[in-house]
Amino acid sequence: MLKKWLPNWLNGLIVGCVLFTNLIIFGVLVLLLGLVKLLLPIHAVNRLLHSAYRGWCNGNRLGLWLGCPDIKIDVKGDLNSKSWYLLICNHMSWLDITVLSSMHALPAPKFFLKDDLKYVPFIGTGAWAMGMPFMKRVSKAQIAKNPKLKGLDIERTKNSCRNFRNHPTTIINFVEGTRYTPAKHAQQQSPFKHLLKPKAGGIAFALEVLGTQFDAMLNTSLVYSGKSDHVCRNLLKGELDSIHVSIDVMAITDTMLGSYQTDEAFKANFQQYVNDLWVAKDKQLAGIYAQQAMPDAQISKEAKTL
Domain boundaries, the chain: 70-294
Distance CA 110, CA 84 (A): 11
Please give the model's pTM, rounded to 2 decimal places.
0.85
Residue with the bigger pLDDT between 163 and 207: it is 207
Question: Which pLDDT value is given to residue 9?
Answer: 84
Question: Which pLDDT value is given to residue 151?
Answer: 64
Q: How many CB atoms lie within 10 A of CB 71?
A: 17
∠ at Cα 69 (10, 86), nearest 5°?
A: 115
- 126: confidence class by pLDDT, cuts 50, 70, 90: confident
Q: What is the pLDDT of residues 249-288, one digit of tens each?
A: 999 999 999 988 788 999 999 999 999 999 999 999 999 9
Asked whether the predicted pLDDT for residue 198 surpasses 50, the reply is yes
Q: What is the pLDDT of residues 10-55, one digit of tens each?
A: 989 999 999 999 999 998 998 898 888 888 877 788 889 889 999 9
CATH of domain 70-294: 3.40.1130
Question: Which pLDDT value is given to residue 177?
Answer: 87
Distance CA 102, CA 122 (A): 17
